Amino acid sequence: MILEKIKKPNDIHKVSLEDFPRLAEEIRSFLIQSVSETGGHLASNLGVVELTLALHNVLDLPQDKLIWDVGHQAYTHKILTGRKDGFKDLRKEGGLSGFPKRNESNCDSFDTGHSSNSISAGLGYVRARDLMGEKYHVVSVIGDGALTGGMAYEALNNAAELKTNFIIIINDNNMSISKNVGGMSTYLSALRTAETYTGMKIGVTKTLKKIPHVGTAVVDTVRKTKSSIKQLIIPGMLFENMGLTYLGPVDGHNMRQMMKLFNEAKRVEGPVVVHVLTEKGRGYGPASSHPERFHGTGPFDIQSGRPLAAKTAPTYTDHFSGAICSLAEKNKKVVAITAAMPDGTGLNRFRKKFPERFFDVGIAEEHAVTFAAGMALGGMIPVFAVYSSFLQRGIDQILHDVCMQDLHVIFAIDRAGFVGADGETHHGCFDFSYLSMIPNMTVMAPKNGKELEEMLKFAVEELDGPCAIRYPKGSACTDMEECHEPLKKGRSEVITPGSEIAVLGVGSMVSVCQKVCEEIRNHKIAGATFVNVRFVKPLDTELLDRLSQNHSLLVTVEENVKSGGFGEHVSAYMEACHPEVRVLPLAIPDHFIEHGTVDRQRMKIGLNVQGILDAVEQSWENLVNNRK
């Protein structure tokens, strides 16, 4: 096995070029076997095996800097930098991360997880390198999907002014998670279809240029024409016109061709775009025919490609998916927006039923928010379905474009709270804070799947102005379905009235709090009040006033950071209006929580039944002791 020779960074340089194809096959087999056991991002990784080998061959790591956009495709890079053995614990607590991590290897140059930032990061490195008088190469690898994100254009625009070497690889597999969308995708496709002409294009340009005076003039004239013939002769005109050298397209599975081009790219004095064509899922039939299914996968049977886990109970995403379709059936103004996540957010069903009211804007959350604002002003009711951590990209747009104008835009925020294996880049644990600080915003969190459906209906039919509903990843809670007090803006639901201690659970924490309250009642205090908060904003001050009359301790529990979260809002109110009542805010502390299972992530910070119970008992004991 050639792969056995790769134990540390740059061991690849000891492998002869003749052995590269065999090594690529060995890596593919390893990836398929390994990810079939652990789960992970398979299809993107299968597509970049040769690209990674070629890059590692022409680069010298860790001296050179290699930055992977999103970072979900860096598995071969991890193998080539001595981390193969870690794959048995991929994405598990304490194990290898699914994304590049600087604390995992000095060959990882930038921690990633969110898309479209690799060119900015790379350009930063380049500017620093030049200022420090250093000599290394910087390479940013960005996918065609990630190239739909606005940051990539800001960076390209800025990079165009550069006079020193900076290599940008476009890894074009003609796919985002789903089918890629938009004008850049169309443009790349045009270059891709002209691929067979590449040799001819380079040939024609070179031959013309060889003719003294006239040749160069002809090339220049062609460059200046608006004719499509120009594209045949000078590919990548968009980049060239911006001031970036364009090389390619090149077959991303032909290592010799790629290495030749990369070495050429290293000699360019300025920013250079190398357009590499790859096949997502290459080498594994089920993944190449269904790249979207194998973008991120759980463990699966290699033979059939089928998932090993049995289908779970309906998820929150399923509840959202069904509810938005019913609402759109009744109300023609309802439109749905996704930023390249139609599968993950459950909007695929909506797309099939109402294609004309469905909008995939690409990986462009900032744009999606303002696009929704425009739609609301135009008379529609936009629902932007988005993962909590990706919506962080659009905070200013939420504030400036939606909330300041008090527009009726609905944010359906999936993957809120801990997400497990993706880890700190993907946890949705800041949304209560960044949403509830903004005037006009209403923020809701359902206790179970049924309440999510009710909240969406309420948001569409009853509310006006901006509102958000945030719900977690995975199977929807089915507890407490019998409690369905009608929703009223800013009103919580008191599920069990009591006295002395009140436990106020938010969203995903309500069912956990239910068990906590049972324990409290069984062992300690006769009647703890149990509240389903429902509205993080506006705060239910009426309830807080009421609770202050016969409670000494309010416990708030939320899967959001403590800073700026529900608990802090309650604490501030109580301190101002009822200082005699103690508030115990339980939330996520001020540090990032690494990959693992959701249960372990909650447990580690005390957001499980036992952890909450311990904290409540401790606080109650202190309170009683202070009274003595």
Ligand X SMILES: Cc1ncc(C[n+]2csc(CCOP(=O)(O)OP(=O)(O)O)c2C)c(N)n1
* Residue stretches of the annotated binding site: 72, 113-115, 144-146, 173, 284, 365
Shortest reach from residue 70's CB to Mg ion, in Å: 10
CA distance 109 to 139: 10
User: Of the two residues 78 and 473, which places its CB atom closer to ligand DXP in the complex?
Assistant: 473
Residue 72 binds ligand X (CB under 6 A): yes
Residue 280 binds ligand X (CB under 6 A): yes
Q: Listing from the earlier edge strand, what are the strands of the sheet with 551-561? A: 493-496, 529-532, 500-505, 551-561, 582-588
CA distance 387 to 341: 9
Residue 177 binds ligand X (CB under 6 A): yes
- Contact region with Mg ion (CB under 5 A), list: 175-183, 193-201, 431-439, 570-578: 175-183
Residue 413 binds Mg ion (CB under 5 A): no
Give yes or no: 515 in active site.
no
Shortest reach from residue 367's CB to ligand X, in Å: 11
Shortest reach from residue 32's CB to ligand DXP, in Å: 18
Q: Which residue of the set 84, 393, 450, 582 is catalytic?
A: 393
User: Of the two residues 283 and 567, which places its CB atom closer to ligand X in the complex?
Assistant: 283
Shortest reach from residue 182's CB to ligand X, in Å: 12
Burial of 515 (C-beta count, 10 Å sphere; 0-12/13-18/19+):
middle
- Binders of ligand X among residues 341 to 400 (CB under 6 A) are 341, 363, 365, 390, 393
Per-position DSSP letters for 477-527, written without gaps between them: P-TTTT--PPP-TT--EEEE--SEEEEEE-GGGHHHHHHHHHHHHHHT-S-
DSSP conformational letter for 358:
E
Residue 415 binds ligand DXP (CB under 6 A): yes
Known binding-site residues for thiamine diphosphate equal 72, 113-115, 145-146, 173, 284, 365
Known binding-site residues for Mg(2+) equal 144, 173
Shortest reach from residue 278's CB to ligand X, in Å: 8
User: Of the two residues 296 and 382, which places its CB atom closer to ligand DXP in the complex?
Assistant: 296
Q: Count CB neighbours of 8 within 10 A.
A: 12
Shortest reach from residue 57's CB to ligand X, in Å: 21
- Binders of Mg ion among residues 114 to 173 (CB under 5 A) are 143-145, 173
Q: Which of 39, 122, 145, 466 binds ligand X (CB under 6 A)?
A: 145
Which option in Mg ion, ligand X, ligand DXP, none does residue 584 bind, with CB closer than 5 to 8 A by kind? none
Which option in ligand DXP, ligand X, Mg ion, none does residue 415 bind, with CB closer than 5 to 8 A by kind? ligand DXP
Residue 427 binds ligand DXP (CB under 6 A): no
Which option in Mg ion, ligand X, ligand DXP, none does residue 340 bind, with CB closer than 5 to 8 A by kind? ligand X
CA distance 281 to 182: 22
Residue 275 binds ligand X (CB under 6 A): no
User: Of the two residues 70 and 502, which places its CB atom closer to ligand DXP in the complex?
Assistant: 70
Nearest CA among 180, 156, 169 for reference residue 249: 169
Nearest CA among 422, 423, 420, 530 for reference residue 480: 530
Residue 376, φ and ψ in degrees, nearest 5: -65, -40
- Contact region with ligand DXP (CB under 6 A), list: 145-153, 178-186, 414-422, 508-516: 414-422
Shortest reach from residue 39's CB to ligand X, in Å: 15
Contact in structure between 361 and 367 (CB atoms under 8 Å): yes
Give yes or no: 365 in active site.
yes
Shortest reach from residue 281's CB to ligand X, in Å: 10
Contact in structure between 412 and 424 (CB atoms under 8 Å): no
Token digits of residue 624: 């009683």
For residue 502, the cross-strand partners are: 529, 554
CA 214 to chain centre: 52
User: Of the two residues 296 and 505, which places its CB atom closer to ligand X in the complex?
Assistant: 296
- Binders of ligand DXP among residues 341 to 380 (CB under 6 A) are 344
User: Of the two residues 75 and 471, which places its CB atom closer to ligand X in the complex?
Assistant: 75
CA distance 72 to 74: 6
> How many residues are present in the chain?
628
**Radius of gyration of the chain, Cα coordinates, nearest whole angstrom:** 27
Residue 175 binds Mg ion (CB under 5 A): yes
Q: Which of 114, 129, 415, 582 binds ligand X (CB under 6 A)?
A: 114
Amino acid, res. 206? K
Q: Which residue of the set 84, 280, 282, 470 is catalytic?
A: 280
CA distance 120 to 554: 46
CA distance 124 to 122: 5
Q: Count CB neighbours of 552 within 10 A.
A: 16
CA distance 69 to 152: 10
Q: Which residue of the set 365, 366, 558, 568 is catalytic?
A: 365
Spatial CB neighbours of 424, under 8 Å, sequence gap ≥ 6? 113, 592, 593, 594, 595
- Contact region with ligand X (CB under 6 A), list: 91-99, 172-180, 203-211, 254-262: 172-180
Nearest CA among 173, 157, 336 for reference residue 251: 173
| Residues of the shown chain interacting with ligand X in the complex, contacts defined by CB under 6 A | 44, 70, 72-73, 114-115, 143-146, 173, 175-177, 280, 295, 339-341, 363, 365, 390, 393
| Residues of the shown chain interacting with ligand DXP in the complex, contacts defined by CB under 6 A | 41, 70, 72, 177, 295-296, 344, 415, 419, 422, 473
| Residues of the shown chain interacting with Mg ion in the complex, contacts defined by CB under 5 A | 143-145, 173, 175
What residues are annotated to the active site? 280, 365, 393
